[in-house]
């Protein structure tokens, strides 16, 4: 999937058929499910994914035709202003996941299980994943994992919890490398990532996400596994692409190297706020005022005179 800015033109003509139907008559699109994504992957039809963090944004993204929304642990940085994803609170993760599903009920919503929510013990991990499915209304949970997590994925699968296995660059382990970075750039590391993806699929994962790897690593995963592969900074061969919506919309000061903003909403927000500051300073009143009826206004004036 290309991240180049699309040519300007009639956006309604470019939109998928189900989205044009929604715009024209207000009906909801047919629900997207994990089965839908598998069928699209089998047909070679790419599906789109975005990480977002609130119900209103999720509603607009569903109307646009986005297939998967991730309640990412990147909210720790984007929403809370914290330095790393490992600071994402578990309770807030559940609330944000449910918010996305309420905003986009016909979209696959993926819960990003936060740091240490699935590492201490399998029993605790299963309980936390179950909360994402019930309280968080998630359709699937995502784990940053390698082959050593295969038994945990198998246990989730036995319990009926769909898993997206996140391989490649793993932000929750960034402390081990001294910061965020790419993965799979040596033959040995690339082979390990492929083996991880295979092992996690065999354990029952319904999807894989691969982050920040050379294109040929993602291609090798596709050739050796059968479940849909979502890519982020992993080349065009993946069945799907995902970005943080704030990077897509031009709201972040420094987008990742693999993200090309398709809008400049940061500048638009700044401009609107600047105009608001000027309007307030000039005592300009916007919108429509609340008014009394003539009789009530006379009664009010009379009460003040007394």
148-165 pLDDT, tens per residue?
Answer: 999 999 999 999 999 999
Please determine, for residue 20, whether its predicted confidence score (pLDDT) is greater than 90: no
299 band by pLDDT with thresholds 50, 70 and 90: very high
Please determine, for residue 14, whether its predicted confidence score (pLDDT) is greater than 90: no
Please determine, for residue 275, whether its predicted confidence score (pLDDT) is greater than 90: yes
Tell me, what DSSP letter sits at residue 235? -
Answer yes or no: 45 catalytic: no
26 band by pLDDT with thresholds 50, 70 and 90: low
Residue 83: per-residue pLDDT: 94
Q: In this structure, what are the phi and psi dihedrals at residue 149, rounded to the nearest 5 degrees?
A: -90, 5
Query: What is the pLDDT of the chain when averaged over all its residues?
Result: 91
116 band by pLDDT with thresholds 50, 70 and 90: very high
Q: How many residues does the chain have?
A: 306
Q: Which of 18, 122, 211, 226 is catalytic?
A: 211
In tens, the pLDDT along 173-187 reads 999 888 888 999 999
Of the candidates 248, 228, 205, the residue with the CA atom closest to the CA atom of residue 38: 228
Structure tokens at 226: 């059968």
Residue 1: per-residue pLDDT: 33
> Among 14-18, 153-157, 230-234, 274-278, which is the least confidently predicted range?
14-18
Q: In this structure, what are the phi and psi dihedrals at residue 208, rounded to the nearest 5 degrees?
A: -125, 145
Please determine, for residue 146, whether its predicted confidence score (pLDDT) is greater than 80: yes
Look up tokens 């083996």; give the residue: 195
257 band by pLDDT with thresholds 50, 70 and 90: confident
Residue 6: per-residue pLDDT: 32
In tens, the pLDDT along 47-98 reads 999 999 999 999 999 999 999 999 999 999 999 999 999 999 999 999 999 9
CATH of domain 15-270: 3.20.20.60
The three state secondary structure string of 250-273 is: CCCCCCCCCCCCCCCHHHHHHHHH
Please determine, for residue 99, whether its predicted confidence score (pLDDT) is greater than 50: yes
Residue 27: per-residue pLDDT: 61
* pTM score, whole prediction: 0.88
């Amino acid at each position: 999937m290309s991240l180049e800015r699309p040519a300007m033109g009639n956006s309604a003509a470019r939109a998928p058929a189900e989205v044009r139907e929604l715009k024209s008559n207000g009906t909801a699109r047919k629900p997207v499910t994990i089965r839908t994504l598998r069928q699209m992957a089998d047909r070679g039809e790419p599906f789109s994914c975005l990480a977002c963090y609130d119900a209103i944004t999720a509603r607009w993204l569903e109307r646009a035709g986005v297939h998967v929304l991730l309640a990412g642990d990147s909210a720790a940085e984007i929403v809370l202003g914290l330095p790393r994803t490992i600071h994402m609170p578990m309770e807030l993760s559940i609330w944000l996941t449910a918010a996305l599903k309420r905003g986009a009920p016909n979209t696959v919503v993926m819960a990003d299980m936060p740091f240490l929510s699935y590492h201490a013990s399998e029993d605790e991990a299963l309980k936390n994943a179950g909360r994402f499915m019930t309280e968080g209304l998630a359709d699937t949970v995502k784990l940053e994992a390698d082959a050593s997590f295969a038994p945990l994925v198998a246990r989730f699968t036995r319990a009926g919890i769909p898993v997206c296995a996140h391989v490649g660059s793993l932000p929750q382990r960034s402390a081990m490398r001294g910061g965020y970075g790419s993965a799979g750039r040596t033959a040995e590391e690339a082979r390990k990532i492929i083996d991880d993806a295979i092992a996690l699929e065999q354990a029952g994962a319904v999807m894989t996400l691969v982050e920040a790897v050379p294109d040929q690593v993602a291609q090798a995963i596709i050739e050796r596994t059968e479940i849909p592969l979502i890519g982020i900074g992993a080349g065009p061969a993946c069945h799907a692409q995902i970005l943080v919506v704030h990077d897509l919309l031009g709201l972040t000061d420094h987008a990742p190297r693999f993200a090309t903003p398709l809008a400049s909403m940061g500048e638009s927000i700044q401009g609107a706020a600047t105009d608001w500051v000027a309007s307030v300073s000039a005592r300009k009143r916007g919108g429509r005022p609340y008014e009394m009826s003539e009789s009530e206004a006379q009664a009010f004036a009379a009460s003040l005179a007394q």
